[in-house]
Structure 1
């Protein structure tokens, strides 16, 4: 082997097995996403206790329940450009510190106003952490397994939410509702200490920013000892962009604007379905004649359906990812429509709800990997974060949509038909993105550019 040579960093990552160092990065990102899911769902677990302890009505909970959603959107929209300017590592570490500290402080809230403000700040941290974890993990993954690895990491979110539910059911009777928030804050704060000392900066980001070769070599050698012979590093981008551009300038530039808008529309509509059904399905099923216990049981099948995420990642790595996710949305829309037609047959209803959950949750959880593959390194942080940020407003819209349809006394089949249309729109958006040729492969770029020496 030559004593000095130039190394293409992505080629080196592609050609070596997934190292213990990369698994360490995966583990740290997975725990971040796990706690993101726990803290996002925490307010729902403690809501009944708030009603009784503070003697408030359900309507008074609306601001505190929605505060985190608005915070999530703000955090994502702000953190993306910061990530592309300052680096994945620093933004991710600070965001974990922020949502950990604010969740911990929430346990000492004296009234609903304080809790609402702290939940908003918690949401900002959560909204900043998720896209940066996705971006960092995607940039440490080989091309042929990127979607699978990112989707596997994303499974931490529903696991965190589900684990939080079981834990809260045990903790609240023994230690009170504040203990859930104390745990939800203490774990991220401890994790942030680990991130300060162990979390590396993205290699692709360092190459794109012209970081000295010695720093890049130090990180890359933990993946492959061969990197010690390198004196310069280059990187093949899957799509070309103007040198020096970054963040929003890339996301909104002419080659990317249509694809960006289609990703936003798709994720927005997916969350219209998710939040519209998660928040309202128990009520709708109860109004349709099911007992409260049976309505809750059937509705719980919907968020449990995220099991297909890893399989979808495998398919995305093997076939055209836009078409794979579009197909999941299309079949998901059919399944949501079928839920509205299955009333009166409890067996068929449970099957329809579970299948709808599998398809919709799988498609939605696969979107961050799709966005990460679409943008170049200089704009990836902003691209992923803005898709997630804009999409959060779909969650708010979904809840209001179903509430308004119920107020207008639209029948159950009609409500599920309207919600299913959102899935069809998501499918069409991805097909438009694909048809306009807004994705290229690394082979489409003729040559790499030396970005670090």
Structure 2
């Protein structure tokens, strides 16, 4: 039979990208912010409880570093696993699964009788911690207007920094009275609100398109942009033809292989710095002569700097190339580490740590925003999950390296000199990303994912 030419066509991603910020986007922002807050809390919680846990279980520096790496080892598997599953089955389900994993098993860590079971719980929690960010960021990028996409995602990523602040803050307020286990039990809070968040969370548009759920997709689009009328006979499509069965293949096609390798390298070195510093900063400040309360305050100051830097850089990122911004941020990270190593003044130490929060934590937020825009919708979570998963090896090495340096009696100043090296490596890697092959620039409006919806097949 002959196929008739359909003139009325609607690119779903383009429709969403050209919309304005509305109540739909606000609720999505709130849901993402809530999930990411507790992701940041559970990720940073080990650093907040490290000194008392070392004392209670009589752990050496190397043993404590290994224990801190268990959750990062779980993140390695969780990032890629849930990233691929999300691009295959949708973001909504995977967000729910990952929240349950990291919330439940962080709380269970508070009842562990010793380091062995504690490490197992941290590993399982790490699976969820690794999986939530690729899905939350990808969902936000999927549905955000193009003109405010970076700002919206950056605001949500501030939740990660806020969660990182809550861990030491609750540690300061609670450890003396209730013990370090209470700090872990607070990680169960998301389980209370998850059912409500799940109800209002949208399903991935490409999943609705792929499964032929036309009415659901049309209802979703009407919430995103109620002012624009969609014709009843419109054919809905996506602009990229990417395999629905093997999302990983999309990371290395259309000249994206080099950039995938460079993103992964940048994250690898950056996480050596980030996790090494976050996990060991209170302990290092304690060794430098600060009190327990003051040493935990350094984590708060670090995250404060990260929040301000992420918001500002997100706003700037909607107006200037993210690649250049990230290169500068990574270099700033190295410079602040060197300055901290040379510093001998307590007041300036707080100032430098606040500034360091922008590249040490904020840059990690921003690189994921950049990646979510670089890759097409069908491999977005997979790309974030893959690079984060391989990069997590650096996150695992960071606490181990810091623990080894402490055991070798490295001074705090030499420690910070060492932390300057990964920032430089990340800057070189991100500068080699081939932005000309990004999704926005390489999109060919003629290339489509041929998955016609029910009722749209031509005779």
With structure 1 as the length reference, what TM-score do the two structures score?
0.86
Distance 1:295 1:113, change over 3 A: closer
| Partner in structure 1 of residue 4 of structure 2 | none
- Secondary structure of 1:18's match? coil
Distance 1:412 1:34, change over 3 A: closer
Matches within 5 A, 1:304-453: 304-306=304-306, 307-342=308-343, 344-405=344-405, 415-434=415-434, 437-439=436-438, 441-442=440-441, 445-447=444-446, 449=448, 451-453=451-453
| Paired residues of 1:97 and 1:189 also in contact (CA < 8 A) | yes
Alpha-carbon shift at residue 253 of structure 1 (Å): 3.3
Residue number among 177, 181, 203 corresponding to 1:201 in the alignment: 203
Matches within 5 A, 1:128-147: 128-147=131-150
| Paired residues of 1:266 and 1:426 also in contact (CA < 8 A) | yes
Alpha-carbon shift at residue 10 of structure 1 (Å): 3.0
Distance 1:227 1:123, change over 3 A: farther
Distance 1:440 1:57, change over 3 A: closer
Alpha-carbon shift at residue 285 of structure 1 (Å): 5.7
Deviates more, 1:300-309 or 1:401-410: 401-410
Deviates more, 1:146-155 or 1:353-362: 353-362
Distance 1:163 1:410, change over 3 A: closer
Say whether 1:257 aligns with 2:257: yes
- Secondary structure of 1:433's match? coil
Distance 1:296 1:290, change over 3 A: farther
Alpha-carbon shift at residue 234 of structure 1 (Å): 3.8
In structure 2, what is the Cα distance between the partners aligned to 1:15 and 1:254? Answer: 25
| Partner in structure 1 of residue 128 of structure 2 | 125
Alpha-carbon shift at residue 309 of structure 1 (Å): 0.5
In structure 1, what is the Cα distance between the partners aligned to 2:176 and 2:409? Answer: 38
In structure 1, what is the Cα distance between the partners aligned to 2:282 and 2:146? Answer: 41
- C-alpha deviations, 1:64-112, integer Å up to 9, x for none? 4322111112111211111111111111111112223323433443443
Alpha-carbon shift at residue 144 of structure 1 (Å): 1.7
Deviates more, 1:161-170 or 1:267-276: 161-170
| Paired residues of 2:64 and 2:403 also in contact (CA < 8 A) | no
Q: How many residues align?
A: 442
| Partner in structure 1 of residue 103 of structure 2 | 100
Residue number among 116, 127, 133 corresponding to 1:113 in the alignment: 116
| Paired residues of 1:210 and 1:452 also in contact (CA < 8 A) | no
Say whether 1:89 aligns with 2:88: no
- C-alpha deviations, 1:255-285, integer Å up to 9, x for none? 2211111001111111122223334445556
| Paired residues of 2:109 and 2:121 also in contact (CA < 8 A) | yes
Alpha-carbon shift at residue 245 of structure 1 (Å): 6.2
Alpha-carbon shift at residue 439 of structure 1 (Å): 2.3
Distance 1:421 1:61, change over 3 A: closer
Distance 1:5 1:376, change over 3 A: same
In structure 2, what is the Cα distance between the partners aligned to 1:12 and 1:165? Answer: 43
Structure 1: tracts of 5 or more residues without a match: none
- C-alpha deviations, 1:401-422, integer Å up to 9, x for none? 3444556666666543443232
With structure 2 as the length reference, what TM-score do the two structures score?
0.85
Distance 1:296 1:189, change over 3 A: closer
Structure 2: tracts of 5 or more residues without a match: 1-6, 454-459
Say whether 1:218 aligns with 2:219: yes
